[in-house]
């Protein structure tokens, strides 16, 4: 994965790491603990139907992706990212 993240002709670069603003600083660090990929600011508009759930206001979603071996043993490394957003009832 690390060898193709910053390869300009590759899929990953076109849709993911192309928008990293600090790529020169982290290019050789790949997924070392504490490495932060900083993205260009962008807006994303999503419409969802949460019938019955009273969501309004700002929220922060934190996601952690963990790796497991074939024997279902958790590995030492993980990926964590956060998304800040605002819910508005239409």
Residue 83 lies in a domain: yes
Residue 5 lies in a domain: no
Q: What is the pLDDT of residue 11?
A: 82
Give CB contacts under 8 A, 24+ apart, made by 4-12: 5/30
Residue 3 lies in a domain: no
Facing residues of 61 across strands? 83
Say whether pLDDT at 48 is over 70. Answer: no
pTM of the model: 0.52
Domain count, the chain: 1
Residue 21 lies in a domain: yes
Residue 1 lies in a domain: no
Q: Give me the domain span that covers residue 48.
A: 11-87
Determine the Cα–Cα distance for residues 32 and 77; give it in Å rounded to an integer.
8
Query: In a 3-state reduction of DSSP, which class is residue 14?
Result: helix
Residue 17: CB atoms within 10 A of its CB come to 19
Q: How confident is the model at residue 83 (pLDDT cuts 50, 70, 90)?
A: confident
Say whether pLDDT at 62 is over 80. Answer: yes
């Amino acid at each position: 994965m690390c060898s193709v993240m910053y390869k300009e002709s590759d899929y990953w670069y076109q849709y993911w790491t192309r928008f990293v603003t600090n790529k020169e600083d982290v290019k050789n660090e790949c997924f070392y603990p504490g490495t932060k990929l900083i993205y260009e600011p962008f807006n994303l508009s999503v419409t969802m139907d949460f019938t019955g759930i009273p969501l309004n206001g700002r929220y922060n979603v934190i996601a952690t992706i963990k790796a497991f071996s074939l024997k279902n043993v958790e590995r030492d490394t993980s990926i964590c990212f956060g998304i800040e957003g605002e819910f508005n009832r239409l």
